């Protein structure tokens, strides 16, 4: 649900209509950064370009930022938000999003760079 303040800024919140938040019975607004659409699976983000190293990093990085921003997940990669920002009630959802974003990154890097992504703590 979006809530506008006096300055016109809109914030999104998790809404728990039934049961405790940690039971999995909660709904996230589609604009919330932890919202996962049913089509947001491990292989659902392809930018059509594999990161091979420093030689194509600038182009790959820009394409990846555009794709992640379109999915509202850039904040999980650029350090804008962290798991603690969402509180314990959304910790599991943050973990799910982090794993999905990590899988998207893995799908868009060359196999010789895969280990660096695979063993990272956060996307």
pLDDT of residue 108: 96
Q: What is the pLDDT along the chain (123 residues), one digit of tens a residue?
A: 444 445 555 555 444 433 334 435 678 899 999 999 999 999 899 999 999 999 999 999 999 999 999 999 999 999 999 999 999 999 999 999 999 999 999 999 999 999 888 888 888
**Length of the chain, please?**
123
Whole-number Å distance between alpha carbons of 98 and 86: 13
**pTM value > 0.85:** no
pLDDT of residue 117: 87
Cβ atoms of 47 and 64 within 8 Å: the answer is yes
Nearest partner of 35 among 9, 14, 16, judged by Cα: 14
CA distances from 59 to 4, 34, 79, 92, 119 (A): 36, 26, 20, 33, 24
Angle at 78 between CA 74 and CA 80, to 5 degrees: 90
């Amino acid at each position: 649900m979006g809530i506008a303040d006096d300055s016109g800024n809109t914030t999104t919140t998790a809404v728990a209509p039934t049961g405790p938040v940690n039971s999995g019975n909660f709904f996230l607004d589609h604009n919330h950064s932890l919202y996962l659409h049913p089509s947001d699976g491990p292989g659902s983000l392809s930018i059509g370009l594999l990161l091979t190293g420093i030689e194509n990093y600038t182009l790959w990085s820009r394409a990846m930022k555009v794709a992640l921003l379109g999915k509202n997940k850039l904040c999980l990669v650029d350090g804008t938000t962290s798991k603690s920002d969402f509180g314990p009630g959304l910790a599991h959802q943050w973990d799910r999003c982090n794993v999905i974003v990590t899988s998207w990154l893995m799908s868009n890097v060359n196999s010789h760079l895969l280990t660096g992504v695979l063993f990272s703590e956060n996307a």
